[in-house]
Chain A
Amino acid sequence: MPTQVNPQTAEKVITDGLIEVGAEPAEISREATFESLDVDSLDLVEIAQIVEDEFGVELIGDDVQNLKTVGDVIDMVVAKAS
């Protein structure tokens, strides 16, 4: 069963995913930009895979590549799940 999506679980899964792809844990916040975290398009594909695996929410496509901040992804996952 996929995990229930809410702002808290989305934030946790995405934060863990960012750490997994090599972002510095201390620098991760809702406001942090992917550029500042040195997270590129390949990393974002991995984050999208992790999100789909965890929540069953599909982000692959152009959805993710246009987002700028961590908060943007969290909001998109929550919006897509509802």
Chain B
Amino acid sequence: MSRRVVITGTGAVTPLGVSAPTLVERWSGGESGLEDGTGTCHDFEPLDFLSRKECRRADRFTQLALVAGEEAREQAGWRHETPYPPERIGCIVGTGIGGISSLESQGAVLREKGAKAVSPLAVPLMMGNAASAALAMRFGLRGETYGVVSACAAGAHAIGAATRLIQSGQADAAVTGGSESAMTGIAKAAFASMGATSPSGISRPFDARRDGFVMGEGAGVLVLEDADRAAERGATVLGEIIGYGATCDAHHLTAPDPAGTQSARAIGIALDEAGLSPDDLDYVNAHGTSTPLNDRSETDALKLALGDAAGTVPVSSTKSVIGHLMGAAGAVEAVATVGALRRGIAPPTVGWEEPEEGLDLDYVPDRGRNLRLPQPAGDGRRYAISNSFGFGGHNAVLCFAAT
């Protein structure tokens, strides 16, 4: 029997604001953080949280992770010292792209002023593991630490890897999540060029009129702990990660397998590990990108994996209100899912109005809705899955329990 992994802290910086509760409450109320076709963290001012030196030594994606991490650490009650030896705490953080704005600005320096003018900070700013390195250094964590790069599944993969790290006994705790800030000229042009982003600038997952995703930035960080250790130190438990399934489509560079076979298999693996049947699920936090392909194949995958239960469980997409945070998406959505379960609310897919043939799940339009009461035969907890799928055919599904 592997060790159980509980969540004792969550933090999020998103276009809806700087904190995890802000994200969940505003989303549940049907508010959107999207503006002019992008999801920018307007409320985030790095110098409010970090010194001038820390700011210039961190790309924005790392700054976002540090601030989300501080919120999670504070909630976990780790403020002054870690509750376990630093060697027993890992730090695994995902990103889709890493410090692309730093790379682009140094590319301009190279072209304009030559190689000798390129900043010595260019590499540590842009490297994809910068956020995990910065969090580990700030918190003094000396266990297994690295970055995860799996496009839009990175945040979920990171949390899955951190969960495995604790389950295996290699660590007693981990700081984990995902971070992204990639709304640069080249990234915008490249996503538009491949037809992934929305020409209309509107994120409306699962709606017939959807035409691509809206780029967003932000970070989500969770503190995970071995359940027994957390109980020994009297930590407040926010939820538990009870299942994790990860698979690959091996189908296409970017397009999901239209049949949804492998994403369905990831859902099945997560539910099996959790010991749940599809009827036990109270909520599904969808990947729901607002792209024509994802939302159709994800709907089909949910039907494949959940059977009849797919027709009754509320399914909603965080991306309807913050856009697609790419490598941060899975982590921010994990934070949002736990927050939703704890509040007993299925937040809405804002903007969903027009159904499409075959896209016939309960997508929770307009406003958040109360979840059903915990199952009488159960343990008083509610259950949810959060899906994340990335270019490359990467599928990562996390299963949560919370009261």
Q: CB within 8 Å of B: which residues of A?
A: 21-23, 38, 42, 45-46, 49, 52-53, 60
Contacts and interface: CB of A to CB of B under 8 A. Distances in A.
Nearest to A19: B52
Interface stretch (B117-125, B178-186, B314-322): B117-125
Contacts of B120: 42, 45-46
Contact of B53 (A22, A45, A49, A52): A22
Nearest to B53: A22
A53 B114 CA distance: 12
Main secondary structure on A side of the interface with B: helix
A54 to B, nearest CB: 12
B252 interface: no
A62 to B, nearest CB: 15
4 closest residue pairs by CB, A with B: A22-B53, A45-B120, A42-B120, A22-B52
22 contacts: A21-B53, A21-B56, A22-B51, A22-B52, A22-B53, A22-B56, A22-B57, A23-B53, A38-B53, A42-B120, A42-B121, A42-B124, A45-B120, A46-B119, A46-B120, A46-B121, A49-B116, A49-B117, A49-B119, A52-B116, A53-B117, A60-B116
B242 to A, nearest CB: 43
Interface of B: 51-53, 56-57, 116-117, 119-121, 124
A23 B52 CA distance: 9
A27 B116 CA distance: 29
A32 to B, nearest CB: 15
Contacts of A60: 116
A22 B54 CA distance: 8
Most B C-beta atoms less than 10 A away, residue of A23, A42, A52:
A42
A52 B52 CA distance: 24
Nearest to A49: B117
Contacts of B117: 49, 53
A45 B56 CA distance: 15
A21 B124 CA distance: 15
Most A C-beta atoms less than 10 A away, residue of B57, B117, B120:
B120
Nearest to A46: B120
Contacts of B53: 21-23, 38
Nearest to B109: A49
Most B C-beta atoms less than 10 A away, residue of A49, A52, A53:
A49
Given A21-B56, A23-B53, A49-B117, 7 more contacts: A22-B52, A38-B53, A46-B120, A46-B121, A49-B119, A53-B117, A60-B116
A39 to B, nearest CB: 9
Nearest to A23: B53
Nearest to B120: A45
A45 B121 CA distance: 9
A49 B106 CA distance: 14
Contacts of A22: 51-53, 56-57
B318 to A, nearest CB: 36
Contacts of B56: 21-22
Contacts of B51: 22
Contacts of B116: 49, 52, 60
Contacts of A46: 119-121
Nearest to B52: A22
B59 to A, nearest CB: 15
A38 B52 CA distance: 13
A49 B53 CA distance: 18
A45 B117 CA distance: 10
A9 B68 CA distance: 43
A53 B117 CA distance: 9
B34 to A, nearest CB: 34
A21 B57 CA distance: 9
Nearest to B124: A42
B115 to A, nearest CB: 11
Nearest to A42: B120
A52 B118 CA distance: 13
A37 to B, nearest CB: 10
Contacts of A53: 117
Contacts of B119: 46, 49
Nearest to A53: B117
A23 B57 CA distance: 13
A6 to B, nearest CB: 24
Most A C-beta atoms less than 10 A away, residue of B51, B53, B119:
B53
